[in-house]
Structures are given as structure tokens and as C-alpha cells.
Structure 1
Amino acid sequence: MGKRYYCDYCDKSFADNPVNRKNHLRGVIHNKMRKLHYDSFRDPGTILAEDETKLPCKRFYNTGSCDYGDGCRFSHMTEEKRQELLKQIEEENKLAERKTQEDMEQKQLTLDDWLAKKCKTVSSVKVEEVPQFSLPQALRNIPNIPPSLLPPKFEDFQNTDPVEWG
């Protein structure tokens, strides 16, 4: 048995050869399923904006269904769905506004605060602020320990430039 191609969008597999794959990828069902997949990731504002440009589907509103489904060029948006999308948009806007306010509060450092932070030197570090390291018991009996395994001393912290991470 030869190789099989599995399409994640359609949940379908078939013999993998160029002709079969080309026919499948150009097929109506595949394109419809791919569109449904990507539409599930669209934001509510885009969905609502696209739907407002369409006219209402008479068949959908009269019978409750449409033969064309999501491929219909008319709108199938119900009032409940529209209200749900508007609510989601409003929540996203509130969240974004809250985030921008928090960012602005963080950015309102004065120039003096910034300069004070940048001008701090390591020489102002007190002995109490530097953690005290000691050699583990297992390494104490080993002669000529490499420098990378020796614990740092207070002097090592005094002679370094300040580094700001992040």
C-alpha cells in the first residue's frame, strides 16, 4: 500500500499522488472546511464588519436554513449572534483600555527616577546585601578545585559593573 495523504481540515485521507492532492486541494468541500477552520480564529470585529456589508439571506430567515450554508453570499447573522459579537468586542476594548492605562502608569517615571536608577553603582552594595556562599561539604576535601567551582567573595561583587537584565 502506497503513501496516504491526510487532510486535517477535511478529516479525510486518500492515496497521495500529485493528481489526487491537486484535485482535493481545489475541491469545494476542502475550501469550505479550510475557510471554516480559519474563520474560527477571526476576531469578532472583523466578523461583524464583514457581515454588515452583506444583505440578509431571505431563504435563511424564512426557513431557518440555507442550502449554501457558510458559502452563501448573503448574511446569516441572527440578532442573538450579533449581540454576542458586540459584547465580545466591548470586553476586548475594555481589556485593551485597561492595559494601556497600566502601561501609561508604568511609563510615568520621571527623568530623575530614571537617572537615579541608572547611576546606582555596585560599590554602594553593602556586605549584608550580598549573599554569603560557602563551599559544599563534598568539595572541601578536594585539592586544587577549579575557580569555577569556588564560591564568590564580596570583593568579586564590588569590582563589577551593574548589569540590568530583561
Structure 2
Amino acid sequence: MTANALAGALADDGRRRVFAAIVLGAAGAAQIAERTDLPARAVHTAIRRLTDAGLVTGPDGALAADEVSLRAAARERRPADDAGPTDDPVLRTFLRGDVLVGLPAQRGRRRVLLAHIAERSFESGTRYPERVVDEALKPWCAAGGSDHATLRRYLIDEQLLTREHGIYQRP
């Protein structure tokens, strides 16, 4: 799990409330609904999304935070926001920190930028539902340099992500 995927999974208030209830000991959907005052359907949706994102595990029906994934996300190395992404002139031109300010028109330059985004946003070999992919790409688009759907399409076109039945994977 990447830090972007973690942030995306917890971007919704309902999912944060469900995750907090799980961390504080609620082991099932009924307990979570009771502690969060959320409808059962919203709780089940949040549990599914948190599980898909790798934040929650549910062996034998008892939900728990996936501490291994959280530790891995915490250890992920990131440059300081004011530091340039690298010495690569393409990345320096089109990124400010981890935010995309534009997309290169030239395919070769665009591929360099997309490869950087794919490597920073997705673990190789991990399977991601489309919602998690979108949530991981949205922070890159905060400055309006592109939108997450365009990035997702370019990542597929450049074969930096594969898609099968709505599940995405970085080869």
C-alpha cells in the first residue's frame, strides 16, 4: 500500500469513522454501526473499501486493522515537498512536489512522468479496485494539471497498469 492509497482510503468521513471503530475494538459490522451511528449499508460499504485498500483484515469474521500494511505505508520514503522530484528535467517541469501541474504533449516525456506516478502510487503485483486507483491518482491532480480519469487511461495505454474486470495491477 502506498501513502497515496492510504490517504485515499481514509479520505471519506464515513470510512474514517468505521476504521476508527475497528481500531478501537469493534470486531463486526453490528458493533461498528452502533458505535458510529452509520446505517448498516454504509458500514458494509466502508468495510469493503477499507478491506480492498488493505487497511482492514477480517479473519474469521473479526475485523482488525492491518498493522503490516500501515507500517509499510509509514516506512515509505518520500522527498520533502519543497525538494524537486529528481534531477530529471521532465519531472522538474511537470511536478511540484507530488502534484501534477501539466501533462507533456510529447509521448516520450509523458511516459517518463506516468512511470514516475505509477511507481510512486502503486505496488508492483498488488491488485487494486478502480475506486482505489482513482483515489490514489486524485492527489496528483490537486493543481488541476490533469484529472484522475485521464491519468488512469494514460497509465493503461502506456501499459504501466493493467486492467481486467475493473481490477488494476502494476506489472
Fold shared, TM-score > 0.5 on shorter chain? no
Query: Taking structure 2 as the reference length, what is the TM-score of the superposition?
Result: 0.21
Max radius of gyration: which structure? 1
Query: Taking structure 1 as the reference length, what is the TM-score of the superposition?
Result: 0.21
Greater strand share, structure number: 2
**More relative contact order in 1 or in 2 (CA 8 Å, sep 6+)?**
2
